[in-house]
Amino acid sequence: MPIIFLFTLVLPALYGHLLPDVIISFFYALSLTIKECIIFVLPLVIFALLYTSLGRIGVGSLRFLIFIAPLICFSNFINTLLSYLLSNYCIKIGILSVIPSVQQGNSSVIPLFSFSLPPIISNDLALLAGVLGGIVSSLMKSNKLHARVSIITEKFMKCFFKLLIPLMPLFIFGTALKLNHDEMILLILSKYLVVMEIFVFSAYGYVLLQLFVLSGFHFGQWIDYLKNLLPAVVTGFGSMSSAAALPLSIKAAEANLKNKDNAAIIVPLSVNVHLVGDCFFIPFVAMAMLTSLGQELPTISTYLIFAIHFVIAKFAVAAIPGGGILVMLPILQNYLGFNADMLGLITALYILFDPFITACNIVGNGSLAIIFDKITKTGNSAQKRN
């Protein structure tokens, strides 16, 4: 998948100038149409993902969800806030000054056709309905209505992603042709490597430091943690899916935790929602893109509103390559002012760097499992003393 998306960016950069304007306008219009359809259907996808995932949690596991969900939200929120502080610092000291500065509105590319779709329901309402419906359905396993809704939502999701994955290269290709016509694509491809370097240094440094602290600053224990996580990290890097590495992540957690039973609780519940790599990468790249367009960065109050929606939307992330960015498109559009070109570009960059993001997510989930194990151990000890 990253190779395919690399070609969708490189080919327009090398040969896009050979195409007539009408072809560029057609593919750009097609890209805008796909984007419009994704955002139109996304509320239903969010509801379906949350309803089915929460509905699978049994009554006995619900009490753990009440404890784990705030822990995951807190971790994601802190990581998202750290990304904002890091991007502001990099801009202040001039590291991101290498990103090409361009202005919107200078393009001569006009889409050959266009249409807009009114939203069915807001993402916030879809998210709330999915959470409530999923919790209720988890308490009604034998209910016929729950069974029918589950079948419908699962079929809908399979159909949606089956159609979406082949369309994603077209979504990126049209935007890339337009950016190349504006003489931006080569600059972006070369200069955004700096963003990748900063992401790897900061995000991986953060999760590795977190593991070192959790090891009690014992180098040998830290190395053991990493050795146990390595098979899951390699699998996630190659597949771009934390879900594909789930069995190995559980095995690593069992080796790293005092209470091995906790591995089967925390790892499956956090695999698609506790995403350290996403929390660092998406906001940081978003800030870099706003800087490159000469726009002002959001104030801390605006960013906090964005961060809250960003964290909640993590519970609706799909376990497919690029799934982490799809549910964020309307949030980036609504709270950071992203236009269609920016949405297409950040989607392409995300999928290109997805192997590194996924590997970071897996290490972060390994750290979360250890934190959960230590907290539950402390709680159990307190209960025994009482």
* pLDDT attached to residue 83: 94
- What is the rounded CA–CA span in Å between residue 94 and residue 277? 23
- Residue 352 pLDDT grade (very low, low, confident, very high; cuts 50, 70, 90): confident
Closest CA to 197 of 274, 284, 275: 284
The pTM for the full model equals 0.76
CB of 280 closer than 8 Å to CB of 298: no
Residue 162: exposure state from Cβ atoms within 10 A (0-12, 13-18, ≥19): exposed
Work out the average pLDDT over 68-79: 90
Lowest mean pLDDT among 250-264, 266-280, 285-299, 369-383: 369-383
Buried b (16+ CB within 10 A) or exposed e, 294-307: eeebbeeeebeebb
Q: Residues 6 or more apart from 336 whose CB is under 8 A from it? A: 286, 290, 298, 306
For 253-280, the pLDDT digits (tens) are 999 998 887 887 788 778 778 899 999 9
Cβ–Cβ under 8 Å, residues 315 and 50:
yes
Domains and CATH numbers, the chain: 2-110+121-381 (1.10.3860)
**Long-range contacts: 320-324, Cβ < 8 Å, 24+?**
320/161, 320/165, 320/241, 321/1, 321/165, 321/240, 321/241, 321/351, 321/354, 322/1, 322/168, 322/240, 322/347, 322/350, 322/351, 322/354, 323/272, 324/275, 324/278, 324/282, 324/350, 324/354, 324/357
Give the pLDDT band of residue 188 (cuts 50, 70, 90): low
Residue type, 259: N
Instruction: Give me 251's structure tokens.
Output: 């095995």
Comparing CA positions, the residue from 327, 322, 328, 317 lying closest to residue 365 is 317
Each as own residue / partner, the long-range contacts of residues 212-215 (CB below 8 Å, 24 or more positions apart, any chain) are 214/367, 214/370, 214/371, 214/374
* Confidence check: pLDDT of 81 > 80: yes
Highest mean pLDDT among 189-193, 199-203, 336-340: 199-203
By the 10 Å C-beta count (0-12 exposed, 13-18 middle, 19+ buried), 254 is classed as: middle
Specify the amino acid at residue 106.
N
pLDDT for 311 beyond 70: yes
Kindly tell me the burial class for residue 167, based on how many C-beta atoms sit within 10 Å of its own C-beta (0-12, 13-18, 19 or more): middle
Give the whole-angstrom CA distance, residue 324 versus residue 49: 13
pLDDT at 227: 94
Q: Return the percentage of the chain with pLDDT > 90, whole number.
A: 22
Confidence at residue 59, expressed as pLDDT on a 0 to 100 scale: 53
pLDDT band at 115 (very low <50, low <70, confident <90, very high): confident
Residue 299 vs residue 348, higher pLDDT: 299
The residues, any chain, with a CB within 8 Å of residue 144's CB and separated by 6 or more, are none
Q: Looking at the predicted structure, is the pLDDT value of residue 45 above 80?
A: no
147 pLDDT more than 50: yes
CA distance 187 to 180: 9
Q: What is the pLDDT of residue 382?
A: 44
Report the alpha-carbon distance of residue 340 to residue 164 in Å, rounded. Answer: 17
Q: Would you tell me how many other CB atoms lie within 10 Å of the CB of residue 66?
A: 9
pLDDT of 36 above 50: yes
DSSP 23: H
Give the pLDDT confidence of 117-139 residue by residue, as tens digits.
777 777 667 777 877 777 777 66
- Vertex 308, ends 304 and 310: CA angle to 5°? 110
